[in-house]
Amino acid sequence: MRESETRELFRELQAIDWPVRWLLWAGGLYIVWAAHQSSLPVESWPGFLVYGLLNLAIVLASRRFQTRPAPLIAIVYIGYVADFLFASLLIYYTGGISSPVYLLYGFLSIKAAIFYPYTHPLIFIPIFTFPIYLATLFLQTGTLVFLTEQLFLWRYTLLLLVILAVLYTAWHLDHRHQRIRALYEEVDRQRRELGAILRSIGDGVIVVDREMRLQMINPVAAAEWDLEGLPVVGRPLSQLLGDVTLEGVLREAMEVGERGGIAEALITVPSRQRGKVVTYEALASAIVPRPGDLWGAVVVLRDITKQKEADQLKSNFLSVISHELRTPLTTIRGYVEYLLMEGAGPLDGFMRRSLETVFRQTEHLQGMINDLLEFAQMEAEQVGLFPEDVPLNELITDVVERISPLAKEADMELTWEVPVEPLIVRADAIRLRQVLVNLLDNALKFTPAGGQIRVQVERRPMEVLISVNDTGPGIPPAERERIFERFYQIDNSSTRAHSGTGLGLAICRQIVELHHGRIWVEEGDGGVGSRFCFTIPCDPVSPSPV
């Protein structure tokens, strides 16, 4: 038996056994006194004295051995044997088999069943009332009169029924308590396992109930907010942490509730231990034990300080290197343009072709540098939008018509479908054009000669869906989410057929998300190629007049 179970047994003795024991002793005195016309037989005094002293010894011994299981269990058994013997004494002095005190046996049996870890022998004690009653009857009458005189038959029948009922009840109580104990042990085991897991993980974990009172906090989170060793369970989270963002992400998680959504946020904490501001990625979800029963929420805090610092260093590097490369590249491009204009003299065919190749590669390099610089600015949140009412039909048509000659030159068919009614969205026209151009450039780059590219626009109740469908090689399902990551390319080998920085789609995602839209890629029409889609929010569609 564990120490926790021993302490639980001691608390049960204090709460149940001790009060009932003294109540039985005092009640027994009164019952015998009343049964003998306000007098107490002298021969009963030793029994009351012995039971009272034994009660006192049981109480003192229980206190003495409250953390030691074996002596405490022995005291429980000794106590119940004393209880049943004392009950037999009361029956003897109040009329034997005809005494109503026999009901005490049923009460004592049920009390025994309350101590569920130790009731297997105890619940059978009522069976021993049969020989006890025989003995008390014989001492009173000198004969087993119930065998020959029907006067006592109904009393004994009633007594036997009470014994069987108590035995049946105690047996079921014992089984119920055994199930409860097994459940308690399983819950206790899971609690200890969960505690060990929470102590070992490097992320901070905080659990609150639906009233935003703290219920659990692991050492990592407690150390960050200087709560180690403090009595914090049950206190309002706002008093302990005072972090509005953290409270907000927990409340948001509880709002989504049974939908199973996860709330996310970035939390910055001035850390006294590290002497700097620490950034956490907070992922919170609701705790719903049963449908419709919201218990609270749990948030996991992942330290991304080093990642943010590395991102900042990389953004700074990209910004600096982009600026530094632009100056010499602009000079090179200027001289190449001057030579192509024959400013330094006539050019023969080979020289012109060579300079045109240099000029095209210079433009390609210029585009990559622009992508690097623009992405660095977006990462540093230095890029804003300039929203205006944009006629989407005209913008898409203009972009597609400008790119059509390139598609025709590459032997591809480029088509587009836009609704007849005007589509007006509140957006940054330059940025929308940039997204569409990037997606069409990708389609042209990866679609083989003779392929098809189709641009479609679909008006929805709360948004406009724009898609670019090609008949290229397609994108494996495992890669469809990653291709929007910065610098990621499906073919990262040095011999890949198509060059680039891997930033085009990342920039598209940044722009679309700045517009509060979504961007994704899926399988192309008919299972061929790819279909890039993005949405731009718009006003709800007005109901058509009847």
Mind listing the pLDDT tens digit for each residue in 345-394?
A: 787 878 888 877 887 777 767 766 766 666 666 665 556 678 888 888 88
Confidence of residue 469 (pLDDT cuts 50, 70, 90): very high
Domain of residue 318, residue span: 309-379
Question: Mean pLDDT over residues 460-485, rounded?
Answer: 86
- Clarify whether residues 264 and 123 are in a common domain: no
Identify the CATH number of the domain in which residue 328 sits.
1.10.287
- Average confidence score pLDDT of the chain: 76
In a domain, residue 94? The reply is: yes
What pLDDT does residue 112 have? 59
Output the CA torsion sign for 264, 265, 271, 276.
positive
As for how many domains the chain has, the answer is: 4
What pLDDT does residue 532 have? 92
What pLDDT does residue 162 have? 58
The whole-angstrom separation of Cα 475 and Cα 452 is: 16
What pLDDT does residue 258 have? 62
Question: Mean pLDDT over residues 258-264, rounded?
Answer: 73
Question: Mean pLDDT over residues 323-346, rounded?
Answer: 76
| Residue 266 confidence (pLDDT) above 90 | no
- Clarify whether residues 7 and 148 are in a common domain: yes
Percent of the chain whose predicted confidence (pLDDT) is above 70: 72
- Clarify whether residues 206 and 61 are in a common domain: no
Token pair listed for 179: 């199930």
Last residue of a domain, one of 379, 414, 437: 379
Of these ranges, 69-73, 103-107, 366-370, the one predicted with the greatest mean pLDDT is: 69-73
- Clarify whether residues 288 and 313 are in a common domain: no
Last residue of a domain, one of 239, 270, 303: 303
In a domain, residue 544? The reply is: no
Last residue of a domain, one of 360, 379, 398: 379
What pLDDT does residue 386 have? 83
- Clarify whether residues 26 and 170 are in a common domain: yes
H-helix segments, 298-387:
305-340, 349-379
**24 or 379, which is more confident:** 24
What pLDDT does residue 96 have? 63
In a domain, residue 44? The reply is: yes
- Clarify whether residues 393 and 315 are in a common domain: no
Following DSSP, what letter does each residue of 219-281 receive, concatenated?
HHHHHHTT-TTS--TTSBHHHHT--HHHHHHHHHHHHHGGG--EEEEEEEEEETTTTEEEEEE
- Clarify whether residues 263 and 408 are in a common domain: no
**120 or 403, which is more confident:** 403
Of the candidate ranges 110-114, 233-237, 429-433, 514-518, the one whose mean pLDDT is the lowest = 110-114
Cβ atoms 161, 126 nearer than 8 A: no
| Residue 97 confidence (pLDDT) above 70 | no
- Clarify whether residues 273 and 358 are in a common domain: no
What pLDDT does residue 73 have? 79
Cβ atoms 415, 453 nearer than 8 A: yes
- Clarify whether residues 144 and 224 are in a common domain: no
**363 or 409, which is more confident:** 409
Question: Mean pLDDT over residues 454-477, rounded?
Answer: 88
